């Protein structure tokens, strides 16, 4: 998350959508920098920020509000490779004594775990970050992060700031074996249906396709 009171913008960092790269790009133009704690958590939602703005007496409507999004198929794979869940579905960032880095989960186990289905739905859909609780969109721009020109053009039009390219950060390598396993999972009828049910609106909104056909 980045906020500029001077330039009147809010950037919302949806997890695993190039958020670290875009935060770095916006640093020099920002006044408020995200951290690990609320109300300015790295991955705070617009609805949560709106509440904070009201408490602080800041006019939320004066700010240009942006949310970057990503194809859910590659998003979920990135969550897996970044999170490195172990066989008990404990992630490295949970800093638990029970985490077993030498006994990591397979992607198949990760994607079939029902607790992860709830996590995907509650923390990784577009609407969670761009909308309020009634479903009304709060963001002025919701854009796929691979369409950088759409973002930079709109950002310049609304803030007068001309941005360069975001740096490439936090990229995880995917082995051929992993990609084959992912392909098998996303072409399994029952499993694919569960995935589509979770991300139905996200996929329909930007006509996202399964890149693992």
pLDDT digits (tens, 9 = 90+) for 177-190: 999 999 999 998 88
CA distances to 111, 121, 132 from 194, rounded to whole Å, are 10, 11, 25
- pLDDT for position 168: 74
Q: Is the dihedral of CA 75, 77, 82, 84 positive or negative?
A: positive
pLDDT of residue 149 exceeding 90, the answer is: no
The more confident residue out of 164 and 8 is 8
Tell me the three state secondary structure of residue 142: strand
pTM of the entire predicted model = 0.92
Alpha carbon distance 64, 9 (integer Å): 4
Structure tokens at 101: 């880095």
Peptide bond into 120 cis (omega under 30): no
The tens digit of pLDDT for each residue in 78-136 reads 999 999 999 999 999 998 899 999 999 999 999 999 999 999 999 999 999 999 999 99
């Amino acid at each position: 998350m980045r906020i500029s009171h001077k330039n009147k913008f809010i950037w919302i960092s949806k997890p695993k959508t190039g958020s670290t790269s875009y935060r770095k790009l916006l640093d020099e133009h920002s006044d408020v920098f995200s951290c690990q704690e609320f109300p300015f958590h790295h991955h705070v939602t617009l609805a949560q920020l709106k509440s904070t703005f009201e408490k602080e007496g800041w006019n939320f409507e004066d700010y240009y509000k942006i949310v970057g999004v990503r194809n859910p198929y590659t998003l979920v794979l990135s969550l897996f490779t970044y999170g490195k869940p172990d066989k008990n579905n404990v992630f490295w960032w949970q800093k638990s004594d029970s985490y077993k880095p030498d006994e990591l989960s397979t992607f198949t186990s990760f994607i079939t775990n029902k607790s992860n289905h709830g996590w995907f739905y509650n923390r990784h859909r577009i609407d969670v970050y761009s909308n309020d609780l009634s479903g009304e969109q709060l963001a002025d721009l919701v854009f796929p992060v691979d369409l950088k020109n759409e973002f930079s053009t709109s950002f310049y039009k609304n803030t007068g700031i001309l941005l360069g390219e975001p740096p490439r950060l936090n990229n995880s390598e995917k082995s051929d074996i992993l990609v084959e396993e992912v392909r098998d999972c996303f072409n399994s009828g029952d499993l694919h249906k569960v995935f589509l049910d979770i991300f139905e609106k996200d996929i329909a909104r930007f006509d996202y396709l399964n890149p693992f056909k």
